[in-house]
A and B are shown apart, each in its own frame.
Chain A
């Protein structure tokens, strides 16, 4: 049996704000992946020696790269916010009959996120 499928144009996600935000959220992964590819390139250049590494740092300082990283940072933050927003719905913590409020689940994650970020920044910058 073939069920009827309502035809959807390729621009269905532009018709509503919620759909648009959904599509934006899906697209954040592209920026994150692109940033990680750049990071991997950096690790590779680092393994080649001092000159290659410093040339890589200079490449990062070009306006285009800076712009990309600002956009990628916004995308990554959007991903983090939406991820923590969804988490309480996926991760249901129960104490007997009572359910831990979603705000607490999300709050714990936000605190952990800030702590983890601070630790990473401290390790990388303390020199």
Chain B
């Protein structure tokens, strides 16, 4: 059994290292050197690249390419800071490093419009990391969960703050999308037609009225709302347990 959350970070570090070793050099050569020097101008034409990246598998590939090495970076950077003699703020540094990697992955998923990845892949990893950080599995086994909560968790509050932020951001996003979908589908029915056309004019709302136009948001909401709520609950339990 694991004695700390290190196995999870090491797993992500190794996976990211493999991705970086196999895929990154050729990508730097192609997009960073071949493209700007004009070695293959027709290959980097806008229409061609746009059609290439419109395929979901290509976007999934790009997500893995970008996200995995970020965790590799986080792990190495964290340990390098300690190797260089940093003796304070271990929790802060670890949270900042892995938090940055999670944030980067989140941004990548949104930019690549792979919204389903957020509840299905990113958040489970986030929860596992969080739970292992506040109480490694060996500790859970030795003392029952109820007892642990009553005593308060021993680790620092930063992770709780991070989770609180995650929960608030996710719930905010859910609200935003729910508002978009609601306005698009029921705006006229609720007598908010004017507000709706105003939003379309400003480009906040798409003009489509069919359900298909809101499909990404409709998929997104059921994934986001529970995870956002769970984040908040975990953070509150954590903070409350600490204070006692």
Contact = CB atoms under 8 A, between A and B. Distances in A.
Interface in B13-37: 17-18, 20-37
A125 B22 CA distance: 18
Contacts of B30: 120-121, 124-125
Contacts of B83: 13, 23, 26
Given A10-B84, A26-B80, A53-B46, A40 B27 contact: no
With most chain A CB atoms within 10 A of its CB, the pick from B24, B50, B107, B111 is B24
Nearest to B84: A10
A40 B28 contact: no
Given A40-B107, A54-B46, A35 B77 contact: no
A9 B85 contact: yes
A37 B100 CA distance: 12
A23 to B, nearest CB: 7
Interface residues on A, range: 35 or more
Nearest to B69: A32
A11 B42 CA distance: 49
Interface in B37-77: 37, 40, 42-46, 48-50, 52-53, 62, 65-66, 69-70, 72-73, 76-77
Nearest to B80: A26
B35 A72 contact: no
A73 interface: yes
B112 interface: yes
Contacts of B3: none
Given A29-B72, A46-B49, A116 B23 contact: yes
Interface of B: 17-18, 20-37, 40, 42-46, 48-50, 52-53, 62, 65-66, 69-70, 72-73, 76-77, 79-80, 83-85, 104, 107-108, 111-113
- Closest 7 A-B residue pairs measured CB to CB? A69-B32, A61-B36, A33-B73, A117-B26, A83-B21, A60-B36, A29-B73
7 contacts: A29-B77, A30-B73, A32-B20, A33-B70, A36-B69, A39-B62, A60-B32
Interface of A: 8-10, 13, 23, 26-27, 29-30, 32-33, 35-40, 42-44, 46-47, 50, 53-54, 57, 60-61, 65-66, 68-70, 72-73, 76-77, 79-80, 83-84, 112-113, 116-117, 120-121, 124-127
